[in-house]
Amino acid sequence: MSALPPAIFLMGPTAAGKTDLAIELTKVLPCELISVDSALVYRGMDIGTAKPSKDLLAQYPHRLIDILDPAQSYSAADFRTDALVAMAEITARGNIPLLVGGTMLYFKALLEGLADMPPADADVRGQLEAQAQAQGWQALHDELAAVDPVSAARIHPNDPQRLIRALEVYRVSGMTMTDLRARQSAQSTDAGASAGKQLPYTVASLAIAPQDRQVLHERIALRFSQMLEQGFVDEVRALRARSDLHAGLPSIRAVGYRQVWDHLDGKLSSIEMQERGVIATRQLAKRQFTWLRSWADLHWLDSLACDNLPRTLKYLGSASILS
């Protein structure tokens, strides 16, 4: 048995059934839930993020949901800080932190720590966003590939937040993310420079998804259609009515929101908006699978299986999470 306290990561692509399984686990284990989702942090963004209902959240509270206004930004470093506080509080109560979501960068940052990077620069970020508007995101990706091919290989051209950050780091510091991470890795071997950055928990990592990718695509299309029926367009219309929100903000660039925003701007018809929203969500799921394929010691579950709870409990017992 490890001397470190236990924690559970429950990961997976969008629309895979992560929340349902997490809630089932809280019914039989002393777990408390922490959301790992870069969109669920925002208040007033409920339908398009598939946020659990207020009734469900009242019964099964999730930490790190509805903690920010959409005008604010939230980084992986912010998440790590907040999650570590939440995990410590849960552990102090004798319970198990159960982290559930699909923002894989947050999981990685929490598990491995983050390389020291220069802070965000509003002027540089504004220049990059203006360049993207004028030339397209592929042009920015090409620029990144020229200066930092390693980062370009792992950042998709349709991932504007990470793309802008990588170029911002280079323009601000004159060094690429790859170089900065390599420097930190070298320093970490000297006198324990990165001591304390590794997660001080015994972690069991699970992922849930349908084995048939077509099933996931059908789920994504159905959920997007249901969001529209539930008033997703009106939700984005209310956000657009605010003078402090615009299409360049991380909150509004969230999958689904930017497509509905473009529809309300008259750039997309209703049909085009729905088609592009579904396509963007599928692309998100593909990126999530890419992250998960490289995750070490990951235990997979099939979304369509009827025995995921007992399978999960058996795995947690073998992983020394359950005493």
Please give the residue range of the domain that contains residue 270: 214-282
- Helix, strand or coil for residue 311? helix
Q: Mean pLDDT over residues 271-291, rounded?
A: 96
pLDDT computed for residue 272 by the predictor: 98
d(CA 319, CA 323): 10
- Helix, strand or coil for residue 78? helix
CATH number of the CATH domain containing 108: 3.40.50.300
Comparing CA positions, the residue from 11, 37, 9 lying closest to residue 209 is: 11
Using the predicted structure, report yes or no on whether residue 238 has a pLDDT greater than 90: yes
pLDDT computed for residue 89 by the predictor: 97
Number of domains in the chain: 3
Q: Are residues 136 and 44 in the same domain?
A: no
- Give percent of the chain with pLDDT exceeding 90: 78
Residue 303 neighbours by CB under 8 Å, 6+ apart: 12, 16, 17, 208, 209, 210, 215, 216
DSSP letter string, 162-173: HHHHHHHHHHHH
Q: Are residues 136 and 231 in the same domain?
A: no
CATH number of the CATH domain containing 274: 1.10.287.890
In a domain, 289, yes or no: no
User: 60-74 in b/e burial notation, b at 16+ Cβ within 10 A?
Assistant: bebbbbbebebeeeb
CA distances to 85, 248, 306 from 128, in Å: 33, 10, 48
pLDDT computed for residue 114 by the predictor: 79
Q: Mean pLDDT over residues 288-310, rounded?
A: 95
Q: Mean pLDDT over residues 2-19, rounded?
A: 94
Q: Are residues 49 and 74 in the same domain?
A: yes
In a domain, 162, yes or no: yes
Using the predicted structure, report yes or no on whether residue 273 has a pLDDT greater than 90: yes
